[in-house]
Structure 1
Amino acid sequence: MSGKRLALLASVPAIIAMVALLAVSALAAVSVGDKAPNFTLDSINGSATSLSSVTDKPTLLVFWASWCPHCQRELPMLQDIYKDLHSKGMNAMGVSVDDNIGSAKSFIQSSSITFPNVYAGNDKGMGVVQDYSVRGVPTIFILGKGGVVKAKYEGEVDGSTIRQQFAKLGVK
């Protein structure tokens, strides 16, 4: 058997394993209509915070990073929406995937973000990122009361789209 043929045959099990892994992750992806998996992570300030602590109302859940230019534009816009709609029945939670918590804290402070943020840049947090099948940032989930996923956006999204989603949930 030639060396090329042997190398090709040797790579087949790895290719099959990779395809199986991708298929399993696609099946596990959180989709519209699913109940969002609960998690507990340390807040940016260090206290344990659960998603379930905010899902008593329609909730914006955003995965972000301070180094992401789209997130740098989007988080202040989301803060404005939160400021306008929180008293009308909206909650929000940010999930930072920064490599270090200091970068996340600095960005939140400099951008005057007031909605709760947790840190997912460690092993425990990366499990949450995987549970939600986050492939890039920003990724936004709009959750109805009780944590059911009503919408999901990957990449930058405009504020009017977010506001329309909350209006559909009775938050205007």
Structure 2
Amino acid sequence: MSRPFLLAAAAAALLTAACGSTPSAGTFQGIALKNLGEGKSVSLASCPTRRCLTVYVAPWCGYCRRGTPLIRELRKVLQSKGMDSRVVVGMDKEPALREYARDFGPDALLDTEQALDPGGVPHFFVSDGQGKVMRHIAGLPPDPTELLGWILH
């Protein structure tokens, strides 16, 4: 094989290894993030309810910012229906993560080390109680009722 090909293959392997875990690949196993309030480590593989919604957002994302009120309201509705939810704020420097996470409260999780690679933001993941990703969708759906139905399905 040619030397340039081997160098390119090695560089691609290193970049892939440096990226965070891709939850769309099937699981949140092995991923723990600190919450904003207490700095307590929270495993994404653990959920106190049968299913859990995880929403990944970034401070620089305009769609995420516009969707913040919807995400907060969605969390209240899910809580009233007995479904746990969490918001992960990532893809930026820690001060920006902390500032934006305040919009979601002390239980917001900070992805300071880019442990997750959602592939795009905002990103909605529904997982089971053991962290297996059952389905996911990127972007902010235009119809909140449709989004709620998708989550609860």
State the TM-score, normalized to the length of structure 2. Answer: 0.75
More strand by share: 2
Q: Matches of residues 1-172 of structure 1 in structure 2 within 5 Å?
A: 9-18=2-11, 29-31=22-24, 34-45=26-37, 46-109=39-102, 111=103, 113-114=104-105, 116-121=107-112, 125-126=113-114, 128-129=115-116, 133-158=117-142, 159-168=144-153
Q: What SS class does the counterpart of residue 54 from structure 2 fall into?
A: strand
Q: Deviation per CA, 1:16-71: give whole Å up to 9, x if none.
A: 3356568889xx74447x34324222111222222245353321112211111011
Structure 1 pair 18–152 and aligned structure 2 pair: CA distance change class (3 A): farther
**1:77 positional shift:** 1.0
Q: What SS class does the counterpart of residue 62 from structure 1 fall into?
A: strand
Conserved? CA contact 1:42–1:49, under 8 Å: yes
In the alignment, the residues of structure 1 paired with residue 46 and residue 9 of structure 2 have an alpha-carbon distance, to the nearest angstrom, of: 41
Aligned length: 148
Instruction: Give me the CA root mean square deviation.
Output: 3.0
Conserved? CA contact 1:141–1:151, under 8 Å: yes
In the alignment, the residues of structure 1 paired with residue 94 and residue 32 of structure 2 have an alpha-carbon distance, to the nearest angstrom, of: 16
In the alignment, the residues of structure 2 paired with residue 83 and residue 71 of structure 1 have an alpha-carbon distance, to the nearest angstrom, of: 18
Conserved? CA contact 2:125–2:136, under 8 Å: yes
Q: What SS class does the counterpart of residue 37 from structure 1 fall into?
A: coil
In the alignment, the residues of structure 2 paired with residue 53 and residue 24 of structure 1 have an alpha-carbon distance, to the nearest angstrom, of: 24
